[in-house]
Amino acid sequence: MVFIRLSIVLLSLLMLTACGLGTAGARPTTSLYCDNFLIYRMCARDMDSDGVVEFVYFEASEEVFM
């Protein structure tokens, strides 16, 4: 019984550690990101490459969304 509890705790710790090893926080290499949203193609632009999107717009009409 102790072995099962210890195994569960160790596996839980291993899984939590593995979750933190991803590429979280990695920023895109370009300042423009476009993707489809329902029937619209939308783009997000980071003007000064600080990781914060300044505006989102529709690609076809270039009308700002935010």
Whether the Cβ atoms of residue 36 and residue 18 lie closer than 8 Å to each other = no
Say what the pLDDT of residue 14 is.
66
Output the DSSP codes for 11-24: HHHHHHHHHTTS-T
| Backbone dihedral region for residue 20 (phi beyond 0: left; psi -120 to 50: alpha; all else: beta) | alpha
pTM over 0.85: no
Say what the pLDDT of residue 19 is.
56
Give 37's strand partners: 40
pLDDT in tens, 44-56: 888 887 878 888 8
pLDDT in tens, 19-42: 555 555 555 566 888 888 788 888
Give 55's strand partners: 45
